[in-house]
Every structure is written in C-alpha cells, then in structure tokens.
Structure 1
Amino acid sequence: MFACHFRASDYRALLPALFVRAIDYVTTQDLNALDPGRHTIPGIDQDDAFFMILDYQTAAESSVGPEFHHKYCDVQFIIQGEEQFGWTELTDEQHQQLSHDYHYDPQKDICFFDQQLMTLSYETMSHDQFYLFTPRTAHMPNLSVTTTSQVRKVVIKIKYPA
C-alpha cells in the first residue's frame, strides 16, 4: 500500500504517468456534483483507467472480507465522512492460492476471502491523502472508525502495469 498527501509532489515522480494523469484529472473535478457510479477519464482509454463515485454507510465489520484484484490498482480517497480500512500485502503464492480457493471473478476483477486467514493492519483514511492498493495489496474498506458514517469516496481503477 502507498499513501500520499495530495499536496506532496513526490508521487508525481514515483508513480507511472498514467497514474498521475488519472489522479490529476479526478482531483480537479467537482466530485460532490457527480452522480454515484462509473465515470471515464478524457484522453485515457476506459480499459486503462476509470473512476467510481461511491456513496455508502460504513459498518463495524465487513460483510464480504478483504478483497484484491488482478488487473487493476485502486487509488482511493474520501470526499465526505470517515472510514477505516484493513490491509495486508500478499506474496505471489498467497495471491495465486487465494484466487483459486476463493474463486477470483475475472469479470469484476475481484476476489474476496476470509479475513481470519490474514492479520490486517488498520488505518483511518485522511481527507487530504490518497491510498494506492496494488493487486498484491489485500484491502478491506468501508469500516467504521468509531460509529457508522455516511461516506462519499472515489475509487480510481488503473490498469496494473504488469
């Protein structure tokens, strides 16, 4: 997992150009005015990157467990509300075994697994930074910090440069 403040310029040098273009575009939009759902990024093929606006209530526990992906990285950040997430890095072997045992869905590019299998670290999302989850970063979002919170969040999906 990679966390970075939007005001820090170092992520522009560290991340691939596609990531920087997508983050820069999305953060210049009026995200409160956009409808929930999937949105394209002008000048970037929608198979390479797109973003979603999500509105939901956080919960004390996840109903689906941690998730990971194969094709896309997630760049997530909070617009409104507060949220905690769990995360852990997977080895290539764990990624492959969990994909098999828990039936990775290639159509949705997602695999959920039993959170009891891994020890997760927990973080509270800050409004002034973004969080990058690669396909080898299992993450469990949408958790309450102290009480249930109404959240508006952005998830930018960027094709993993494999």
Structure 2
Amino acid sequence: MFYGNINNEFFDKQCNLMPKPLALCLKYLKENDMAKAEAGVFDLKLGNSDCILQVLDLQTNERHNLRPEIHRKYIDVQFLASGGPEEAAFWSDDCSLEVDENLLSTKRDILFYKNSDTIKEGRIYLTPGTYACYFPWDVHVPAIQVGKEEKPIRKIVIKVPLEDCYR
C-alpha cells in the first residue's frame, strides 16, 4: 500500500517511480475534477489498461460497522474527491481472518472479512486530494468516520489490473 496527495509538490516524482498504469491512474485523478463527475461505475481505458472507474457518494461510518476488504485481480486506487475527512484502516493479509463474503470470482473482485478483535491495523487520514493504492495483499477498511459524526464523502475508486503493472 502507498498513499499520497495529488497536490503534493513531489507528485510527479512519485508517479515516475510507479508502474505506468498506476501513474496514469493518479494523473487522471489530478487532471479531472472528480467532485463533479457523474456517479456510477464506468469502464476506463488508461494507456493499455482496461480499468474500472467507480464514482461513489458515501457516508463515513464508525469502524465497527465496516468490513475489511481485499481484492486479488486489481489494485484498488481510492481517492477522496470531496467531503470528509475520513480514515482508512489497513494491514497485511495473512489469511487468518474468517471470510464474511467472497465475491472474488465476480467483476467486483472483492472479498470481505469478518471483523475481529485481534486485528492490528494501521490508519491513514484522508482529506480531499488524498489517494491510497491497495495491492492484493493489503486488507483495507475505507470510509471510517473521524470524530463523532458521519460525514458525506465523494469517493473515487479506480481498479487497475494487477497484471498490467508487472515490469
């Protein structure tokens, strides 16, 4: 997993270090006003990669109400376009958690784990312009509320095929 902000002075240097499909994805997010994009799920061609663009209007929620998730075929690039703030939890998948719902064989490419008191998670803090790239070994829990109140967020998720990122 890595994260950053499209407005960071090192953004271009960060993109130069990434696999080309991820760099194209982040540049797309910087060059397009995703806060004004139509909500929904769309096919998105970035270079030679067939990606999936999800424009989601959500509410943040308390951590215990959210399920950990993971993907296998895609790198999940999550971007906070507006609203928030939000936190996201993350940790390395050791396959020790009980599966709650397995949709890996569907177009969604997602597996939800059940929450557990044994999870040792890290947290990142997201404000508009912040992105996080979750690889297949990164369990993550997005849209965690900050403070005592839920907040509306405009979340952009671009699913980048993992196989396109091999050099």
TM-score by length of 1: 0.83
* Runs of 4+ displaced beyond 6 Å: none
One-letter code aligned to 2:145 = S
Partner of 1:135: 136
Q: CA deviation at 1:144?
A: 0.4
Change (3 A) 1:55 1:30: same
Partner of 1:22: 25
Change (3 A) 1:138 1:63: same
What per-residue deviation string (whole Å, max 9, x for no partner) do you get for residues 83-137 of structure 1?
Answer: 111110124xx2xx65x95453110211111221522112211323311100100
Partner of 1:71: 73
TM-score by length of 2: 0.81
| Identical counterparts, % of pairs | 23
1:126 aligns with 2:123: no
1:35 aligns with 2:49: no
Among candidates 39, 57, 60, match of residue 59 of structure 2 = 57
1:10 and 1:63 map into 2 onto residues whose CA distance is: 37
Change (3 A) 1:159 1:42: closer
What per-residue deviation string (whole Å, max 9, x for no partner) do you get for residues 133-158 of structure 1?
Answer: 00100001111011210111111110
Higher fraction of strand: 2
* Kept in 1: contact 2:41–2:53 (CA 8 A): yes
Write out aligned runs for 1:91-106 (5 A). Answer: 91=94, 94=95, 101-102=99-100, 104-105=102-103, 106=105
Unaligned runs of at least 5 residues, structure 2? none
Q: CA deviation at 1:76?
A: 1.0
Change (3 A) 1:62 1:35: farther
* Kept in 2: contact 1:64–1:112 (CA 8 A): no
* Kept in 2: contact 1:64–1:113 (CA 8 A): no
1:27 and 1:40 map into 2 onto residues whose CA distance is: 18
Partner of 2:158: 156
1:155 and 1:80 map into 2 onto residues whose CA distance is: 13
Give the 3-state SS of the residue equivalent to 1:41 in structure 2.
Answer: strand
